[in-house]
A = this chain, B = another copy of it.
Amino acid sequence: MNSFGTLYRLSIFGESHGPAVGITVDGCPAGINLSADDFSSDIERRKGGIQKGTTPRTEADIPVFLSGVFNGKTTGAPLTIIFENSNTRSSDYEKQKDIPRPGHADFVASQKFGGYEDYRGGGHFSGRLTVCLVAAGVIAKKLLSVYGEINCQATLIEAGAEKDIEAGLQKAIDAKDSIGGIVECRVNGLPIGLGEPFFNSLESLISHAVFAIPAIRGIEFGTGFAAASMFGSDHNDALEDKSGKTRTNHAGGVVGGLTNGNELVFRVAVKPTSSTPKEQHSLNIETGKMEDFSVKGRHDLCIALRVPVVLEAVTACVLADMLLQSQSIKRIV
């Protein structure tokens, strides 16, 4: 199932080397200004080819609106955006068909879909589809701004075990190997009470969306794993005033599954890019023998570099959904 959301609902489709990747956003209210230009900045942030450590594959990545936009504004109908795949080199990928790339979905996809999957460039499992998430995020961010000064910002705070990102990337280049990283997301300006007590806790929905991003291996809110080593009296955030502001923010802005009016803070762990330039040793499923091989194709040394804007996007989508839902409740109470 490739859908997500209750009122702000996403449905993603496409393969890395198919004609296009795309996303349908259903539930976006009518009357929001929207043009291709609105997407440039975030799409640029996601793109490879610029920063040290990102892939030289460059796509034009111009959003094409198939529906839901009229006279430069959202119409309230389902909004479908596609991105054409122009810059594909399938030949790179043919060669690895016999050797499922370690860390990739090649083998499990083949098992799950009986060999019928589009394996070119990872097919539907490709990071290419995150451009669609970014697009949905652009719209979601616009929606957030209707509800107030809500600012959603994600940053790469560690690469290759280095707080100094440049140094981390250089380490990867020197080692001719890929590296991982940690991305932190902070959201200011949220009202109190977004989320639900149990299954739709804020953390449940954020993490659900976050783990749709390829290469994410963990998520923690506020103090996160470090909280496991703290005393309760140190971890508890004392309330400071009736606005809900707390003296500390170990909770990362969420208590009992609900936003508490403080900054929402969470971090995700991004694994090193599976497609490392290093020679690897794995099973050739045709011959049944272990083989040395190198992954061809154009890949990022540090995929974490491209994660921040995608992380912001899925976060904004979840929050947009919650804000839409919160409207209905408010009227009664």
Assess the B77–A197 pair: CB atoms within 8 A. Answer: yes
- Which residues of B are found within 8 Å of A18, using beta-carbon distances? 66-67, 70
- Asked, given contacts A113-B333, A230-B180, A272-B231, whether A2 binds B26 with beta carbons under 8 Å apart, the answer is yes
For the complex, give the distance between the alpha carbons of A102 and B280 in Å. Answer: 51
| Mask of A1-23 contacts with B, CB within 8 angstroms, 1/0 | 11110110111111100111110
For the complex, give the distance between the alpha carbons of A203 and B274 in Å. Answer: 18
Assess the A199–B209 pair: CB atoms within 8 A. Answer: yes
Assess the A31–B258 pair: CB atoms within 8 A. Answer: no
For the complex, give the distance between the alpha carbons of A224 and B217 in Å. Answer: 5
Assess whether A105 is interfacial by the CB under 8 Å rule: yes
Q: Which of B71, B222, B228 contacts A158 (CB 8 A)?
A: B228
Q: By DSSP majority rule, is chain A's interface helix, strand, loop, or mixed?
A: mixed
For the complex, give the distance between the alpha carbons of A71 and B117 in Å. Answer: 10
- Asked, given contacts A12-B78, A199-B12, whether A281 binds B67 with beta carbons under 8 Å apart, the answer is no
For the complex, give the distance between the alpha carbons of A223 and B257 in Å. Answer: 26
Q: Among residues 60 to 103 in chain A, which have CB atoms less than 8 Å away from a CB atom of chain B?
A: 64-68, 70-71, 73-80, 82, 100, 102-103
Assess the A332–B103 pair: CB atoms within 8 A. Answer: no
Assess whether A49 is interfacial by the CB under 8 Å rule: no
Assess the B103–A229 pair: CB atoms within 8 A. Answer: no
Q: Which of B108, B181, B193 contacts A260 (CB 8 A)?
A: B108
Assess the B256–A109 pair: CB atoms within 8 A. Answer: yes
| Residue of A103, A129, A222, A290 contacting most chain B CB atoms (<10 Å) | A103
For the complex, give the distance between the alpha carbons of A189 and B15 in Å. Answer: 31
Between A and B, 7 residue pairs with Cβ closer than 8 Å are A6-B7, A11-B24, A102-B238, A103-B255, A114-B333, A177-B233, A324-B328
New A-B contacts (5) at CB < 8 Å, excluding given A2-B200, A178-B233: A14-B78, A76-B114, A112-B329, A207-B219, A235-B272
* Those 10 A-B pairs whose CB atoms lie nearest each other, nearest first: A105-B256, A218-B220, A112-B193, A178-B232, A232-B276, A29-B332, A114-B333, A161-B229, A77-B124, A232-B272
